[in-house]
């Protein structure tokens, strides 16, 4: 029978809970395991705590908590439960940190303006406000091909009862994965299901990834997906004139890059004349500067780009890295942006989002909203059961609905003026 070490196990549980409360490392390669263990603990602490309690009962029955060491182990385990409870209460209280930045940037009445667009969608498709979320693909296979390559696949999320002439607003989801994974499943499910249930069409793509493929293949595929949406989404009930883009991690800068380089022929080989513009962008916890090596994790990030993604040294190819950086492609006519980042992100530190938002605000004539979420780790919007995933979905819908309503108002004013 293997030797039981209840004190060692209890210490490990307490350290893991503490890591969920606040990352134990913020620099260098240790941030990777810190994220891997801290991510589920920080977002699904009630489930983690319930599992720990059930296992503690099992171990208590077999006598693991007898004697001085066992009692200390039980006390440490109880402390870890208290930490997990604190994490959950903190997460539940995070909603104002999503809403307040929207109110500050868009105005105190942003929710009333957004509600006009949301109410119109609900009335059009007959969606009761509290209907259970469900997901429906367009085809039984759940996929379409947006380009000639095998990897150019996309899931289309839509209500089964959405009319084919529905003129539904469209959101393109560009998955993350360090430019090396890029899998559309199971990323952003809370956001995609929320929007689809409320009458949106969401398109979630795969794209070419490294090291097999080399930059700019990644962004070319994102552009190709946008071109496909503009040409074909009306067949599924979508509005090609209202296409927004989002996603986090590597998908964050890809989304931002696409939004800032609309119709750039250098990124659209073979489809140079296609419309690849978007009405809004929502990049989340991304790295937007591919040039600077100053800051936590930046030296490792540049080394990763040189070896696996761009595959060229930055010293001799600096302009290539500059062109790939959303931070260096800012423009006054950028569409509205809603940038989100977690303060406790151990993979991509929060200054990345903060600096990009500040720089874009200085240049863009469109609204730029920046939400910095206290205590949030990387990928804080990933899980269905996470309060922050729920708040993210709500906030993104509010922002995009505000964009939709203000565009319609502006178009109406132009008609009247004409």
* Active site amino acids: 249, 345, 378
If we measure between CA atoms, which residue out of 35, 287, 36, 77 comes closest to residue 176?
287
Token pair for residue 390? Answer: 């729920």
For residue 405, count CB atoms less than 10 angstroms from its CB and return exposed for 0-12, middle for 13-18, buried for 19 or more.
buried
E strands, 213-261, where?
A: 238-248
Find tokens 């319930």 and name the residue: 50
Any residues with CB less than 8 A from the CB of 249 and at least 6 apart, and which? 176, 177, 178, 284, 285, 286, 347, 348, 378, 379
CB 85 within 8 A of CB 21: no
CA-derived radius of gyration, the chain: 23
CB 226 within 8 A of CB 244: no
Find tokens 């809004």 and name the residue: 280
- Report which DSSP code applies to 138: S
Q: How far is CA 173 from the centre of its chain?
A: 9
* Degrees, nearest 5: CA angle 283-85-340: 10
3 state SS of 284: strand
């Amino acid at each position: 029978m293997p030797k039981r070490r209840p004190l060692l196990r209890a210490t490990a549980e307490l350290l893991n809970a503490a890591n969920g409360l606040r990352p134990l490392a913020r620099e260098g390669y240790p941030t990777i395991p810190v994220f891997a263990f801290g991510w589920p603990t920080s977002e699904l602490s009630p489930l983690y705590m319930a599992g720990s309690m059930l296992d503690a009962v099992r171990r208590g029955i077999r006598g693991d908590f007898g004697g001085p060491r066992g009692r200390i182990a039980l006390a440490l385990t109880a402390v870890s439960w208290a930490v997990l409870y604190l994490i959950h209460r903190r997460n539940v209280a995070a909603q104002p940190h999503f809403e307040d930045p929207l109110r500050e940037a868009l105005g105190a009445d942003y929710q009333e303006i957004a509600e006009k667009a949301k109410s119109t969608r609900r009335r059009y498709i007959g969606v009761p406000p509290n209907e259970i979320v469900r997901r429906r693909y367009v085809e039984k296979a759940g996929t379409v091909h947006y380009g000639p390559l095998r990897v150019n696949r996309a899931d289309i999320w839509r209500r089964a009862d959405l009319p084919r002439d529905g003129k539904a607003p469209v959101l393109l989801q560009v998955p993350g994965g360090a430019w090396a994974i890029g899998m559309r499943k199971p990323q952003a499910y809370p956001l995609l299901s929320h929007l689809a249930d409320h009458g949106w069409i969401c398109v979630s793509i795969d794209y070419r990834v490294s090291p097999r493929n080399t930059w700019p293949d990644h962004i070319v595929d994102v552009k190709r997906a946008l071109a496909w949406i503009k040409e074909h989404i009306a067949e599924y009930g979508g509005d090609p004139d209202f296409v927004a883009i989002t996603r986090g991690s590597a998908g964050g800068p890809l989304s931002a890059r696409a939004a800032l380089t609309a119709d750039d022929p250098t990124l659209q080989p073979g489809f140079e004349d296609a419309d690849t513009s978007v009405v809004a962008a929502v990049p989340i916890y991304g790295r937007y500067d591919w040039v600077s090596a100053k800051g936590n994790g930046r030296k490792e990030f540049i080394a990763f780009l040189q070896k696996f993604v761009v595959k060229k040294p930055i010293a001799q190819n600096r302009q290539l890295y500059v062109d790939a950086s959303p931070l260096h492609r800012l423009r006054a006519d950028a569409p509205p942006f809603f940038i989100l980042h977690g303060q406790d992100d151990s993979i991509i530190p929060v200054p990345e989002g903060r600096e990009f938002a500040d720089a874009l605000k200085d240049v863009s004539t469109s609204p730029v909203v920046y939400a910095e979420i206290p205590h949030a780790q990387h990928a804080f919007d990933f899980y269905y059961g996470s309060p922050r995933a729920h708040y993210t979905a709500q906030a993104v819908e509010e922002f995009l609905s505000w964009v939709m309503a203000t565009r319609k108002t502006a178009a109406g004013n132009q008609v009247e003026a004409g």
